[in-house]
Amino acid sequence: MQPSSSSTASVAIVGGGLAGLSAACYAARSGARVQLLESSSELGGRARTRRDGAYTFNMGPHALYRRSIGQRVLRELGVRTNGVTPDLSEPNACCGGRLHRLPVGPVSMVTTTLLNAGDKLACGQFLAGLPKLDTTAWQTRTLDEFLDAHAPRPGVRAVLNAYVRLATYTHASDRVSAGFALDQLKLALDGGVEYLHGGWSSLIESLSECAAQEGVDIRRDARVRALVPAGPDRSQVELLLRNGERIEADVAILATSPAEAMRLLPSEAGELLRQTPGLETPVRAACLEIGLRELPRSSATFALGIDRPTYASLHSQASGLAPQGGANFQLARYLKPGESMDRSEVQLELENLLELLQPGWRPLREVERLLVDVPVSHLLPLAEAGGLSGRPAVDELAKACPRVLLAGDWVGSEGWLADGSLASGQRAGELAAERTRESHTRGRQLAHG
Ligand SMILES: Cc1cc2nc3c(=O)[nH]c(=O)nc-3n(C[C@H](O)[C@H](O)[C@H](O)COP(=O)(O)OP(=O)(O)OC[C@H]3O[C@@H](n4cnc5c(N)ncnc54)[C@H](O)[C@@H]3O)c2cc1C
């Protein structure tokens, strides 16, 4: 352990994922002196990219929504994303152990063997009307309630449930807010998504360059172990690091998981957070990442499970993710709240899906990794909590810990997944800079009597 030392920063940020990095850029840009502390040796959190031989993998399937609030934040920061729209010209639906054409447009709707004539008409009408659907009244109702009212035919319901899983990663139609789910489905169908060239680390690199240019002091291998109020009238906050160091700040931003935030905070503030509805049911998935020397069927790039909550997509449609001629496949099994699967069960289910899509792939496998249970988002937007508006605010701890702000994909009422991290990061960074200015003004006034 290093000897204990202390320093000051007007804004200290805990966590170097998308939320912490965007918060750092905004706080520094608004004039604050910023220090960002990341416990790992690498920045990025769940948006990190990993190399395995000649293959490069994001942590499970990652796609950036194109017309989202997250993109607006990135543009404002001058961070350009560089990716490709996945080719959905021959998308597959997997149902009853067979592949069918996924009905994504008029032609596939007419030709698919997935639905009968009545279902095709009902599904087509629903999708055509979706952009104009007012979701306000559905924020506090569940997806099941919405489907009972608007898509009672079992075939149509199964397809819409699969689309919601794809657009949101949630697999909880009896609990998730219908308004949230439908808004996210609209966003996915309207603007589409992109797979990033070189993986999501390209985004992390651009954001950390932006932070460095704004003068942020970025520290890796810096684990914070507690936060305590400090200063003469508890108007500051002190961060205690695992190496014994202490950092005093006017404002701290916690851009970690909620569990870590609760552990770091004084008990009263931690207790406030613990009561947030939805935190007990994070959105989780099992993921299988596979690198193939070549593809048995080059046109079969995508499959969505209809009667099973599964997904498979060729992510090396973006460059830099597989060697020349090779393929990087990402497969996922959406998990229900509380559901757990053992390794062999999930591996078999996802490998069987890939066998349907790419028969004979096994001898071509070069690398593979199975993630049995990863948190995709820390909070399920429950109908009973009003969807995204039920998430804690950036300044949720104003009463218990006024010097501590929150950011992450479980914070704030705007944006889902990475978009939520970026949107709450922006808000937390701007608010932290404002609070810092206020506290300096107050300090000067006190000094002048
Ligand atoms: C399988 C999977 C698929 C996904 N797919 C998509 C997708 O398609 N589209 C999309 O938009 N999003 C997707 N996401 C979600 C997206 O990756 C996350 O929402 C986003 O990366 C979260 O960023 P964050 O900064 O809020 O949190 P994190 O990335 O979790 O960052 C938190 C950081 O805090 C650090 N930290 C924790 N404790 C401490 C401490 N005590 N001291 C210092 N540092 C600490 C951690 O090391 C970490 O780096 C997916 C996620 C997963 C897991």
Q: Any idea what the Cα angle at residue 290 is, between residues 313 and 305, rounded to 5°?
A: 35
Same-fold call for 6-47+202-279+383-447 versus 116-190: no
User: What separation in angstroms does the CA of 11 have from each of 110, 262, 292, 384?
Assistant: 57, 20, 45, 35
CB-ligand 1 contact for 86 (6 Å cutoff):
no
Q: How far is the CA of 18 from the centre of ligand 1 (A)?
A: 7
Contacting residues for 410 by C-beta, under 8 A, at least 6 apart: 257, 258, 278, 279, 377, 378, 379, 391, 392, 420
The confidence score (pLDDT) of residue 3 equals 41
The confidence score (pLDDT) of residue 8 equals 72
CB-ligand 1 contact for 425 (6 Å cutoff):
no
What does the pLDDT average to over 316-338?
Answer: 97
Measured by CA distance, the residue closest to atom 1 of ligand 1 is 60
CB-ligand 1 contact for 188 (6 Å cutoff):
no
CB-ligand 1 contact for 214 (6 Å cutoff):
no
CB-ligand 1 contact for 20 (6 Å cutoff):
yes
Our mutation pick for probing the ligand 1 site, out of 46, 59, 377, 424, counting the most ligand atoms within 8 A of Cβ, is: 46
- What is the position in ligand 1's atom list of the atom closest to the CA of 223? 42
- What is the position in ligand 1's atom list of the atom closest to the CA of 419? 11
Is 116-190 assigned to CATH 1.10.405? yes
Q: How far is the CA of 15 from the centre of ligand 1 (A)?
A: 9
pLDDT-derived band at 447 (thresholds 50, 70, 90) equals low
The confidence score (pLDDT) of residue 249 equals 96
pLDDT-derived band at 449 (thresholds 50, 70, 90) equals low
**Residue in this structure with the two tokens 């229900």, named with its chain if needed:** 336
Tokens in use for 156? 């149509």
Our mutation pick for probing the ligand 1 site, out of 369, 376, 380, counting the most ligand atoms within 8 A of Cβ, is: 376
Specify the 3-state DSSP secondary structure of 120.
helix
d(CA 49, CA 201): 5
Q: How far is the CA of 62 from the centre of ligand 1 (A)?
A: 11
**Chain center to CA of 269:** 25
Tokens in use for 267? 């008990």
Q: Phi first, then psi: give them for residue 318, nearest 5 degrees.
A: -85, 150
Residue-wise pLDDT tens digits, 25-56: 999 999 999 999 999 999 999 999 999 999 99
Sequence letter at residue 393: A
Q: Any idea what the Cα angle at residue 256 is, between residues 389 and 401, rounded to 5°?
A: 70
Closest CA to 405 of 259, 251, 266: 251
The confidence score (pLDDT) of residue 146 equals 98
CB-ligand 1 contact for 62 (6 Å cutoff):
yes
Average pLDDT, the chain: 95
Q: How far is the CA of 59 from the centre of ligand 1 (A)?
A: 10
Q: Which CATH architecture has domain 6-47+202-279+383-447?
A: 3-Layer(bba) Sandwich (3.50)
pLDDT-derived band at 444 (thresholds 50, 70, 90) equals low
- What is the position in ligand 1's atom list of the atom closest to the CA of 46? 29
d(CA 290, CA 354): 10
Q: Phi first, then psi: give them for residue 30, nearest 5 degrees.
A: -85, 10
CB-ligand 1 contact for 47 (6 Å cutoff):
yes
The confidence score (pLDDT) of residue 2 equals 42
Closest CA to 237 of 33, 30, 10, 428: 10
CB-ligand 1 contact for 281 (6 Å cutoff):
no
Neighbouring-strand partners of residue 371: 287
The confidence score (pLDDT) of residue 233 equals 77
Asked if residue 313 has pLDDT above 50, the reply is: yes
Specify the 3-state DSSP secondary structure of 208.
helix
Its pTM stands at 0.96
d(CA 178, CA 292): 38
CB-ligand 1 contact for 260 (6 Å cutoff):
yes
What does the pLDDT average to over 189-201?
Answer: 95
d(CA 333, CA 204): 26
CB-ligand 1 contact for 313 (6 Å cutoff):
no
What does the pLDDT average to over 218-245?
Answer: 93
Sequence letter at residue 114: L
Asked if residue 92 has pLDDT above 70, the reply is: yes
d(CA 25, CA 421): 13
pLDDT-derived band at 4 (thresholds 50, 70, 90) equals low
Asked if residue 109 has pLDDT above 60, the reply is: yes
What does the pLDDT average to over 188-199?
Answer: 95
Domain residue ranges in the chain = 6-47+202-279+383-447, 49-61+194-198+283-377, 116-190
Q: How far is the CA of 138 from the centre of ligand 1 (A)?
A: 28
The confidence score (pLDDT) of residue 89 equals 81
Residue-wise pLDDT tens digits, 134-192: 999 999 999 999 999 999 999 999 999 999 999 999 999 999 999 999 999 999 999 89
Our mutation pick for probing the ligand 1 site, out of 57, 59, 256, 410, counting the most ligand atoms within 8 A of Cβ, is: 256
pLDDT-derived band at 448 (thresholds 50, 70, 90) equals low
